Structure formats: C-alpha cells, structure tokens
Chain A
C-alpha cells in the first residue's frame, strides 16, 4: 500500500502533508503556506536563482546538500528529504559563516538575490572536499543572477567562507539529521490524493510501469526543470503527476568495460561526473549546462525525453553512439538514440511508455571527441548551436565519424553528408576540414530566432567542425580556444 502522506524534514521536525495540489511548487509552499518569505521569486523559471533553497538527502548513508530552484521544484519532490532555507542558517544573532562573509565583503546591495546566493554558497560550503578556487565558485554561482554588485564581492565572500569544510550547526548535527532522514525512508511508494488527482512517487521501476499503464495521461516528472515552467509560465495544472525521483533502479549508473548505463533519473550532475571521464569537452559542456541548481535536479532521461532540439545532452550522446531503452508495462525495447527523435517535439514514445536507461559505449583509445557549445553567454545559457564530433582514427586515417548537432534542425540530428566526407580520409588534410564544413549545408536546416540567425548558426557550425578537426589533427587548443582543454582523459 502506498503511503498517503508526503513527509520531509524541516527545522528538525517532520512535516506531513496530505492535502496539496500536485503542481504546488516548493516556493509557493514556503511563501504562501509556511509564510517564510526569505526565499524570493525572481523569475519563476529556474534561471535567476533568487529562490535557491538547499535540499539535503541521504546518498549511500551520507548527507548531500543540493541547491534547488524552489520556484519550479515540486513540493512533492521533497519526500524523504530535508528542506533548508535562508532563514535557517543563522544561530540566534550569530550569522552563518557564508552570511557573515557576505556582510563583510559587501556582497549584497539591493539584497533580493542575496538569499539565493547565500543558499548556493551554503551548498558549496557543504560540498567542500579540500579544494576551493575561483572557477569552482563561478560554477557554483552560475545559476544566481545579481544585477547590483558585479559579483566581485560575492566571489570574494565565497572564497573566504568556503575555504574550509563546514563546521556549522548542520555539520555538528549531521548524525541526528542522518538518523531523521533514515527514519523517514520507509521504501514505500507515495501517493497523495485519489485516483483522479494525485501526486505519486513510486519506488521501483515495476511500480512505475504499472502506475503509468493505469494512468497513461499522468504527467511524468523528475527534476521539473522543464515541467516546472509549464506550471509557472504555462499555468498548466496537471491532475496527475508521477515523479521518478524515488525510483531507485532508475537512478543507477552501471559501468563495465564496454559501456556505461545511466538510469533515466540520473541527475545531470551525476552524469557529468561519469561522462566527464570520457573527454574533457564533455566535462566542459556539462559544466556549462544550465546551472548547479538545474544539474542537481534535471535528469538525463528528462533532457532526452522532452525532445527539445536544443537539449545539449542528445547530440553529445548521439555522437558517442548511445542507445535508448524504453519500457511500457512489461515490454522493454531499445533503439539508437537518434531514432528516438521523429520531428519537432515528437518522439518515438507510446502512451504509458517511459525511458528507463541510456547505454553509452565507452570511447576506445583511437577515438577522439570534440564538443562545441555556442551561446550568447558562456555560462547558464541555452545553446544556439551545439556540435559533437567523435572520430575513430587509425594511423591518421578516419575510420569512423559520428557528427551530431543541436539547434540546427527541429530535432537533435546527425550530419550524414559531412560524416561521409570524413570517412576514410586523412585527418591532417586541411582541405578535408573545409570540405566537411561545406557538406554541412546539405545536412542542416537551421532557423533564425531570438538566439541566433540561421546564417550565424550555419557559419559557426562549419567553423566549429573545422576547429575540431584542426584540434584533432594536433593543433593545441590554447591556440584555438579562449578556454583551452585539459589533457584528454580516457577511463
């Protein structure tokens, strides 16, 4: 029997809720129900970070503190977790070290983004593993917009306060918090509401398959980094929502010598740590994917499943030769990832069917990978063009080429004409690079929109291919990029 009450930890107490709308966000619950107004709404789309809260969970028995955009995260996603907000950090009149550093460095002017920034730094502080530098701080703050300070004092406050592991009240009471979270973890599925209107959190793949078969119109959701906007911006009010967040078998990463398998509910942050081992470019791309808040909530399956032509993960995984596995009821099937995308916002997924796993073959020693993400702003921006190229090179000759793009058609797509030009040719031949780029005119049909013109998209796609091939042929990346690659690493 499912549990009928949502339970989460808040200020040392277990909150139990049974009467809430399935689409209630954490932010609305905080501001309208609990009347905790320290957490702000800046954009209601998970972009500005003013609403950042920290959600603490148990993972392998350890506490992890993740920054979350409360504006689009669903209240139901808190099941079994602890919710920490800006009001909770100070101890009486004594500010938390990140708060005190923000005051001392004059890191707040108007103060409206400040609660979110404090919470992002609180998460960073608790993620401390002995290293802290400016690039890590910038990465932690990529999802927090500040319009007043120019960030300089905030970065200084972060470097100072996050230099050491956390010794705050949350660290001191870690064992009690772990015990409280463990006590809530009953392994039972959650179903708040009734058959017509519910928020459900199954805990097994079988349970999910069964529930979705019975309610094929229910809205599947994981991190809600896209679905959340359908609620806040589209004002959609789903009656039935099923979250993947507690389906343990969908959160697994399994690896062997030949491939890695990521469950659909693996977060983008976790995917980054494993895919980043394939190649530095994957790590760089995933570092620029959304923000820390988005990457800790958003999932691999979600980024693929929503079928966006500008999702960054799909072209990368297509270039890597990934396979997608889907399930409906008991039936499981798999297909090459590129075949999943049929047309703009249309995918090969039947009602009641869901993505279970993504299987990615490991690159071999002869494989070279290059990824280019082009956007108006380097961090936390949607790509106007993303290029992913994987070559297998044998004694200077290209044995295999997989070239995929995002933002260049209605779906993430391969570039067969350009791949054909590359196959069997000598990589070092600069004329080949230009021929390959020219062939893209056959492969791609970009549009003009607010992010870029079709002309720029095509030009930058061609230039990115030329640049990637030049780098693969041996031109060092410090000559070709503003931010060079590190050593290419293989697992």
Chain B
C-alpha cells in the first residue's frame, strides 16, 4: 500500500483537457487516413414496415465515384448485429423493420460521392401499416421480449384495504443521446483476414465480436481500438457496432481502408433512444401519506428489436421504488415491439423512467392529501426495519439518504422558500412558481451478473515509466484520468510517469461495456490488481537486495523504500529486469456478493446504492407554458471522491441532461414511423441559458460501505435523476392553479404540454 495519496481525491484536470481546448485531441474522424481510404454511405429504408421487393440500385452503382454497392447478400458471415437476442440484421434482408433502416451500403472514393449515390436508389417495398406508438403495440400485442414482473406482499388486498387510493396513467418521453461526435468507424484490413477497427464505441469487445461474426473470421483476427469518444451516454454501448461492422464489411470487400461517419440527421434517425414508457399506476396509502401498496405496469416502447431492452426495462422496475419502502408492490412490465429504431441504453438505463413514475405517485398522494410532497417523501423513505425492496435486496444504509435530504432541506431553505412562493403565487395571476425536493437512490452493478468483471494490463518499463491499459473506454467521463491517478498513487509515482493508452481488445480481452456507471469501480480495481502484482515482484526483488522483509518495502515519492534506504522507481525497475523479473501484469476484478436471480425474482442485483437529492425552483408562464429553472441545490453522494472536479462535472452535466429530457427534448414520430425531430434544429437539448443561474452543487461527505476503489462510489448515471426535481417543481407550480387535483402533465414538460395542463386545471381567463 502507498503511504500517502498524492493524486487520488485531487481535482486534477481531465487527462486530455489541454488537447481538447487546443483541438489536438484526435477522434476517429480526425485520424490520418491510410492511402486509398474509401468512404461509405448507407441507403436508408423509405418505409417502416414491409417486404423488401427490390433495392433499385442501378443508378447507385452507376453514380460517379462509386466503387462498390453492398447488400445483405454480400455478408460472408451471419447477418446479425444484435448484442444478445439474434434479432437485428446488419443490412435489411427480405423485410424492413423501421424507417431509415440500413438496406444497402455504398463504397465510394469520397464521402460526398457516396452520400449522393446513396440517395439515387429506388427501392421497392410492399408497405404495411407500421406500429409506431405504445398504444399501437399494445393493440397488436407485439413484444420483443416476454412480460416480466416482481414484487412483494399482497397488493390486491393491501389496495382494497388502504384508506385512500389514487391511480392514473403517466407518459414518459424518450430521449436522443445527442453525443456531439456522431457514430463513426474506420476499418483497416490487414494480412490473413485481420481487421483493425477504430470505433467510437463504449464496447470495443462487442465491436470485435460482431465484426468477427459478420466477416466469419475468428475473433482473434479482429482488433477494435478506441482512444476517446466525443460523448456516448449509452448510445454507443450496443449501437456503435453496426457502423463498425459495415466499415469492416466494406474493407473486406474492397481491400481498402473504409470509413463510415454518419451525418447527424441519419444518426438521429437510425440509432436508438431512451425508451419512452407509459406507466399505468395505482397507489394505496393512508391519511399520513404512508404507502400501503403500489400496482405499477411499465409499458416500454422497445422498437424493432430487443437490443438491451431486457436490462433497461428490468432496471426501470428496480428503480420504481426509488428511495421508498413499499410493503406491497406489484411491478410489471411489457417490452413492446414497434416498427421504429430499436431503443437502447441511455444514461440511467431505464432507472430514470421507473423513478419518475414513482415520484409521480408520491406527488399524487401529496396533492390528494393537500400536503407538502416533501413530507410524503420523507414519510416513506427506507429506514431500519422497513428496508426490503420489492426484489428482495435490503437497503442497509438508508441513513445516507435521510441525512442528505435533511441537510438539503436546510441548506436550500426549503420551508422558507415554500412559504415565500405561496405568497408570490397568491399575488401573481400569470406567473407561478414551483418548488420540489426529490431524492435519488440508484443501484450500482450490471444487473446481468456476467458483465461485472474487468481486466487491465500494466507494463512498467526500464526507466520507470508505466503504460496503462484497461478495458474501460473514455467518453468524456474522466475514467482514464481517475484510473491514472489510482495507478500513480499505487506505485507512489508522479502522474507524468503514467502513460494512458487507447483501449484495445488486443491488450485487454473479453471486456464489458463501459456502462452502468461502473467503469471506475471495475476497471480501477482491475488496474490496481495489476499494479499490486508488479509491486509484489518489485518488493520481493528489493527485499532480497536489501536483505529485509518484503513487508518493509514502501512505494512513495517515485521511489522504493525500506526504512531510510531508497531506490528510485526507475532504478528499481531496471534492476528487476536485469534479474529477469517480469514487470508486466494483468489485473482482473469481479464484483463480489451479487446474488440476483432473475428466474426467482429475488436477490441482490446491486453491490451498493448511490444517493443524492436535488431541490429545484421554477417559474411558469400560465399564458404560454414557457418556464425557467431559477435555482437548483444538489447534494450528492459519491463516497470518497477520486477526483472532485470530475465528479462535480458528472453531477452538473447529468442534471442538465436530465433536465433536458424532462423539459425541452421531445421526440416526434409521424404516423409513417418517421422521426421528425432528427437534428438539433428540431430536437432541443439545453443550451447555456437554460442552466439555472443559482446552481449549487455539493458532494455529500462520506465513504462507501463496500470495498470499492478507495471507498468511492459510481457517479455516471445517478445525477440524471436529480432532474426529476425540475419536473416535480413544474407540477408544483401547476398544482397552485387547482389544489387537490391531479396535475395532468406528462413528460417532457414542453411549453405546449404545460399550457395543455394549465387549461385542464384552470380553463378561465387570466385577464
């Protein structure tokens, strides 16, 4: 163990910060292209559902600059890019599954030539009426996966016996990832069928596997490398593979390097989103607002294939309790099939939808009782003796969320502001303010147990410099920086000795996606394991030289020590190499104690929970539905922070992203199943002026009870759900119009949705 931490817990800049601001950080599209690189464009299906009669490619093949046009017939291996359920083709064959689905691939000498040619196709499709909405899918009874449910207690009886009940239907919108760097891959063919793919992916291993499957070559022939992504947010977990596989297919067919970079409009049309859902709910409670029973059905629109929907919808169910004890719970789900692009992972992975449904129910309880929603929230929090979730895991550290809420209630002056707002609203006919404080409890671990593993490869060189490889990918979240800080401190060396390298399947194989917030937990621990192995060898070597116990050897200040004896890290490395000691080691980590059994619907799916709470204030124009978030206070639990600056960045950024999901970000599909909001001109993510001027974020002091890296906690996803406070605050403002009524506001709360709710609650004239 290192004596002191020189880097861990320090707010050091992102490893690429200086390169980012100077424009010298290279993304896939910036890499020098091998001579003769060809460029690709995809032909998109002009219908959402139907039989593919003819691709109509004559004009495409004859277009200037076109080298080849590839179809599903040209795939040497299996035409399947699905991550799990074998249900998604690389290129459509026989039938089309959604509007914009790739149906052929153009290979040309330039990007423009490829794109212009791709639009010359005249495909013939025997169209069928597509299923687009949740209601369409429910009516047709089409699903991508079987229904699934879990729960505890006796819900029918508890509901019947509950003193009060409320019920409703609540729509939760989807969300486009809008990573700033669109999907892109560059495939470079090698000898004997080898293929090197530079891909902007969260999951290099899956890219490797799918490329091997498509090309029908052993996985060992395919290498996927990812230095950095320009954002991902889940959108490049399973859905970066298609573009990589297409690039590899073209590279195999032509023998040239091939690059595919999607145009933004295409990217938005043909990559999946956060699942939109309809929550059908009923809650039974008493006059104190204590929950007796919850009956919840989550109808999730999964799109045309299963993709990651099993895990996403499961996680929505796992978070439908949020932080509240529900003695009788029946949580059911439908994984609906529609003729639209397959919905996929998005930061929170279903958790936000489940949690939002629960918070809607809590608000409904508060409105019907005329009580402050915060009091209802506090009355139902998990606590000792009331600590078992609907899926059997116990919440053993509920004190954390109690402490967070209590502190935030005070630091945000919740009660005083509540009173001030009541006075303001009573005097203001047009503008109404709203306030809400909501908690977050988010389970950390992949719910698919097999994914909770990670590997690393650490090399120490003769001059004491260190090359660090691990299975995690860098998408902006600061994973590389955090792990480099861990490794530097583990060896007791300065950061300048640690060389961060691109993630590649050639060095660390069989990795899990960088997802589920678990990147640092898993890969950080694996890297530490590798370091400790090398340290043990160095310590044994030095103990022999110095004739002391290995236990006396310390690693600090770029040196190895035993008492006052000191050898520089570089000299120690060189010395060990002369003695034929390996200074390269892998490390491996698998999360312990996970017992979740999906068949039995019971167990521990999560290693631990991350907590947080947010208090948001909004002002709403009741004549137009326009609104603004005026103040936000956040207290969030990251355990012992590995890098407070990076963690704060995740919290602030996650919150604003969640705020966009619940306010301005609206996905509009037409009856043909065509996405109409497929560019930033029509799909509105937050801009600088949407960020509240008063935005106070603090880290909750504390350490993880579980043995994570330096007792830190995962931070990637949980902050998204802090933004539920914004939605609840908007509802609170509307509740002032007609106290006692259920606020008929669905998500996202666009100005139009808000004005519709205003008119339902208060149809009269303001002036």
Contact = CB atoms under 8 A, between A and B. Distances in A.
B767 A142 contact: no
A65 interface: no
A47 B657 contact: no
A456 B756 contact: yes
B691 A152 contact: yes
A414 to B, nearest CB: 22
Interchain residue pairs A-B with the least CB separation, the first 6: A38-B23, A110-B476, A112-B230, A111-B20, A150-B656, A86-B23
A147 B178 contact: yes
Contacts of B684: 375-377, 381
Contacts of A491: none
B495 to A, nearest CB: 15
Interface of A: 31, 36-45, 47-48, 50, 85-87, 89-90, 95, 99-100, 102-104, 106-115, 118, 134-135, 137-139, 141-142, 144-155, 232-233, 235, 237, 372, 374-382, 384, 430, 433-434, 449-453, 456, 459-460, 463-464, 466-467, 470, 479-483
Interface in B640-682: 645-646, 648-649, 652-657, 664, 666, 668, 676-677, 679-682
B690 A377 contact: yes
A136 to B, nearest CB: 11
16 contacts: A39-B23, A43-B680, A86-B21, A89-B22, A102-B20, A102-B21, A106-B11, A108-B21, A109-B14, A109-B478, A110-B181, A110-B475, A148-B653, A377-B684, A480-B431, A480-B623
Interface string B454-494: 00000000000000000000011110000000000000000
A40 B181 contact: yes
Given A89-B22, A102-B21, A141 B688 contact: yes
B762 interface: no
Given A48-B680, A112-B180, A382-B682, 9 more contacts: A37-B29, A40-B230, A41-B29, A43-B680, A109-B14, A111-B25, A149-B653, A150-B691, A378-B628
Given A145-B178, A482-B431, A482-B628, A155 B20 contact: no
B115 interface: yes
B30 A111 contact: no
A74 B231 CA distance: 28
Interface of B: 11, 13-14, 16-27, 29-30, 112, 115-116, 119, 177-182, 228-233, 263-265, 428-431, 475-478, 619, 621, 623-628, 645-646, 648-649, 652-657, 664, 666, 668, 676-677, 679-682, 684-691, 693, 695, 750-752, 755-756, 759, 765-767
Given A95-B18, A110-B179, A147-B178, A43 B679 contact: yes
A109 B228 CA distance: 11
A103 B626 contact: no
A241 B478 CA distance: 46
A81 to B, nearest CB: 20
A137 B119 CA distance: 41
Given A40-B27, A376-B664, A142 B687 contact: yes
A145 B687 contact: yes
A86 B664 CA distance: 31
Contacts of A381: 684
Given A108-B14, A145-B687, A479-B430, A374 B626 contact: yes
Given A106-B17, A151-B688, A152-B691, A87 B27 contact: no
A459 B753 CA distance: 12
A144 B686 CA distance: 10
A451 B29 contact: no
Contact of B656 (A110, A137, A151, A481): A151
Contacts of B428: 479
Nearest to A48: B680
A145 B685 contact: yes
Nearest to B231: A110
Contact of B767 (A107, A433, A452): A433
Given A86-B23, A109-B476, A138-B689, A47 B681 contact: yes
A89 B666 CA distance: 37
Contacts of B657: 147, 150
B653 A150 contact: yes
Contacts of B181: 40, 42, 110, 112
B476 A233 contact: no
Contact of B17 (A108, A135, A470): A108
Nearest to B626: A482
Given A42-B180, A153-B649, A481-B621, A147 B233 contact: yes
Contact of A379 (B626, B687, B752): B687
A459 B14 CA distance: 48
A44 B180 contact: no
Contacts of B16: 108, 111
B690 A453 contact: no
B429 to A, nearest CB: 8
B681 A382 contact: yes
A373 B445 CA distance: 46
> In the complex, which of the residues B16, B652, B688 has the most CB atoms of chain A within 10 Å of its own CB atom?
B688
Contacts of A134: 693
B24 to A, nearest CB: 7
Contacts of B666: 376
A145 B680 contact: yes
B682 A87 contact: no
B656 A109 contact: no
B13 A103 contact: yes
A21 to B, nearest CB: 9
A152 B652 contact: yes
Contacts of A44: 263-264
Given A155-B691, A463-B623, A114 B21 contact: yes
B686 to A, nearest CB: 8
Contacts of A151: 656, 686-688, 691
Contact of B264 (A45, A109, A118, A433): A45
A154 B688 contact: yes
Contacts of A376: 664, 666, 684, 750-752
Nearest to B267: A43
Contact of B624 (A99, A154, A379, A463): A463
A109 B26 CA distance: 14
Contacts of B623: 460, 463-464, 466-467, 480
A450 B428 CA distance: 32
> In the complex, which of the residues A37, A434, A479 has the most CB atoms of chain B within 10 Å of its own CB atom?
A37
Contacts of A466: 623, 766-767
> In the complex, which of the residues B627, B751, B765 has the most CB atoms of chain A within 10 Å of its own CB atom?
B751
Contacts of A48: 180, 264, 680
Given A150-B652, A374-B626, A482-B431, A110 B230 contact: yes
A450 B624 CA distance: 17
B139 to A, nearest CB: 23
Contacts of A135: 689
A112 B231 contact: yes
Contacts of A459: 755, 759
B71 to A, nearest CB: 22
Given A374-B626, A378-B626, A467-B623, A37 B30 contact: yes
Contacts of A380: 687
Contacts of B178: 145, 147
> In the complex, which of the residues A102, A113, A114 has the most CB atoms of chain B within 10 Å of its own CB atom?
A114
A106 B10 CA distance: 13
B656 to A, nearest CB: 3
Contacts of B690: 377-379
B752 A453 contact: yes
A39 B680 CA distance: 18
> In the complex, which of the residues B477, B626, B628, B648 has the most CB atoms of chain A within 10 Å of its own CB atom?
B626
B625 A106 contact: no
Nearest to B619: A482
B681 A45 contact: yes
Contacts of B686: 150-151, 377
A135 B179 CA distance: 26
Contacts of B693: 134
A95 B653 CA distance: 25
